[in-house]
Amino acid sequence: MTPVELEQRLAQLPNQPGVYLMKDKAGRVIYVGKAVNLANRVRSYFNPGTSDTRAFVALLDRLLGALETVVVTSEKEALLLENELIKKHRPRFNVQWRDDKQFLCLRLSSEHRYPRLEMVRRPRRDSARYFGPYASAASIRETVRVVNRFFGLRTCSDHVLETRKRPCLLHQIGRCPAPCVVPIPAEDYARNVEAVALFLEGRSEPLLETLRARMKAASGKLEFEEAARLRDQIIAIERSVERQAIATTEAIDQDVFGLFREGDRITLFSLFVRGGRITGGQAHHFQSEFPDDELVTSFVNQYYADDAFVPREVLLPGSPNEPEALSELLSERKGEKVRVLVPQRGEKTELVRLASKNAERAFSERKRSRDEVEQTLERLKDRLHLSKLPHRMECFDISHLQGTAIVASQVSSLDTEPDPSRYRHYRLKTVAGNDDFASMHEVLGRRLKRGLEEGDLPDLIVIDGGKGQLAAAAAAMRDLGVEGVDLVSLAKSRDLDSLAPDEKQDRSPERVFLLNRKDPVVLPQTSPELFALTRLRDEAHRFAITYQRKLSRKRGLASALDEVPGVGEARRSALLRHFGSLKRLKEASIEELSEVEGVGPAVAERLHAFLHAPRVRATDEDVIRSSSLDDAT
């Protein structure tokens, strides 16, 4: 964008709230921002005396190719749109929360006559009650164990509940009341459900009072087994409460955020307070030049997206941008009032200080880990004679099934940790037979060509194989004129010939082959640098095999449908897309089959009859077993 074009574009900016997108000269979005006043905010980037010291701001005159804006009606809508655009475009200069896993929650249904407690990752907007989130699987399993042992709720699914004919083992050991076969009064079960809810909400005092009264009443009626069960329940609750730290006198759910940074390295720590008690926490690490206020706002906006659990109160450090807009946005997501506060005094300030201390501790632990990673990369560079530190590595593997179904995989790591966002599958286009060398040349050529066009190449490419695969990869690099990318191959350990039948089988070490070097490099077999390479290689192999099985399953399903009268190529493709496996296809009803595009009631009846014929062909059985195995995998 020339200075004249930029000046014209700035003059056209509206004085309204909205979102702006900065693109580079190739049309890629490099930054997404929000503003209360688009004109004032965007112009501030280009003022000669701007106080914004972020590195990309100084480079905008060379990077910027286009500037787009989207006008909205409020700050809340700007926050929503900014979050969506960041997830869609993944701009290189934005703060992005890459931890896409959801924390575990406990769901207590209220619709069934005999509700059960189940673990879920994504709370739904339904009538059920949700508890959590829990920071680790271990903590949620311990909670479920206590509930199952002392509160007597069923653990089986609704389907099992309706079809079971006799009690399961859990009933025999006193962990389930077996409502599937035992006539339990609904009011007694409902009382247990309410006790579980009080326990999970941290409201121990009213729960303990109720249980003590019930224990006393059972003892008075000489129901000593019931009294003993209630006694054990009371002891378990008291022990659980002792392990929880009292955080605040308000018995409400809170998320408390603390921040620690050194330069552009930042750690945000989210502390979970449920019912006034601390139940856990989680650290989130970033590398960004964003100022603290803008970083916290952007992070919280992404943190509570996608149906994540939203507490009644969110406590933030510093002075984040637009806390009122955040409060309005979170209230809408939760369906009730959510307060976003920056406490200045009192016990809430202490909570933020505690979260910040946890952020500092997590930062220090990660820094030590980071130093170890740097040492590993340095040793890799020295021992493999690389031109630079291999921060980003990519590994390629060719896989085939008895010479057929040839596929390839590309997996990536960043600072020795897997980076699944850059994993890729390849189906061979030009290689006809089982030729590993030609396959590697094609796959790597396609990857490098795309990398040259997009300016996206790794520091080190690792090939699964020996000298032949390495030579094929080197030829692909030469053909495209790729420079500045290191290349090695990693040969698997193999069995060596034993001298005598009773001798222990010896294995060769893992070997790394380099270009223009006859003998391989043998790294210490227990070293972290070899572990980084072998883990990447094994992940490439796993990723290729998984893709190959998926394709084989689809081919098996397609062949199984070839003999169905009236099912041609178009209908077969539609069924493949809709169901994905023969197992799911066989489980479908006639009505479900007729819903598939191009499959009417008559064809659905023929297909259903064919799939449920008394005699099943051996090839179909093989396909079913293969499909079931793949689904289980």
Domains of the chain: 3-89 (3.40.1440.10), 104-244 (no CATH), 254-364 (3.30.420), 392-496+505-541 (3.30.420.340), 561-632 (1.10.150.20)
* pLDDT attached to residue 53: 65
Most confident range (mean pLDDT) of 162-171, 331-340, 566-575, 618-627 is: 331-340
Q: Name which of 79-93, 158-172, 456-470, 548-562 the model is least confident about.
A: 548-562
* pLDDT attached to residue 71: 83
- Percent of the chain clearing pLDDT 70 (strictly above): 82
Maximum Cα interatomic distance, the chain, rounded to a whole number of Å: 93
* pLDDT attached to residue 623: 35
Spell out where 469-605 has E strands.
486-491, 511-514
* pLDDT attached to residue 553: 63
Angle 292-303/75-89 helices, nearest 10 degrees? 80
CB 29 within 8 A of CB 91: yes
At residue 477 the predicted structure's pLDDT band, cuts being 50, 70 and 90, is: very high
* pLDDT attached to residue 566: 66
Per-residue pLDDT for 160 more than 90?
no
Per-residue pLDDT for 124 more than 80?
no
Question: Given the DSSP bridges, would you call strands 245-246 and 277-287 parallel, antiparallel or unpaired?
Answer: antiparallel
Residue pLDDT, tens place only, 587-631: 788 878 888 877 878 888 877 877 776 544 434 433 333 333 333
Per-residue pLDDT for 406 more than 90?
no
At residue 243 the predicted structure's pLDDT band, cuts being 50, 70 and 90, is: very low
At residue 232 the predicted structure's pLDDT band, cuts being 50, 70 and 90, is: confident
* pLDDT attached to residue 20: 92
At residue 502 the predicted structure's pLDDT band, cuts being 50, 70 and 90, is: low
Question: Given the DSSP bridges, would you call strands 424-427 and 404-414 parallel, antiparallel or unpaired?
Answer: antiparallel
* pLDDT attached to residue 556: 57
At residue 481 the predicted structure's pLDDT band, cuts being 50, 70 and 90, is: very high
Q: Which residues contact 370 (CB under 8 A, 6 or more apart)?
A: 415
User: Other C-beta atoms within 10 Å of 117: how many?
Assistant: 22
Average model confidence (pLDDT) across the chain: 79
Residue scoring higher pLDDT (415 or 133): 415
Per-residue pLDDT for 172 more than 80?
no
* pLDDT attached to residue 633: 31
Q: Name which of 95-109, 152-166, 220-234 the model is least confident about.
A: 95-109
Which tokens go with 328? 């309005």
CB 154 within 8 A of CB 179: yes
Per-residue pLDDT for 244 more than 50?
no
Mean pLDDT of 161-165: 79
Question: 423 vs 343, 395, 413, 430, 451, CA distance in Å?
Answer: 43, 10, 9, 22, 14
* pLDDT attached to residue 368: 63
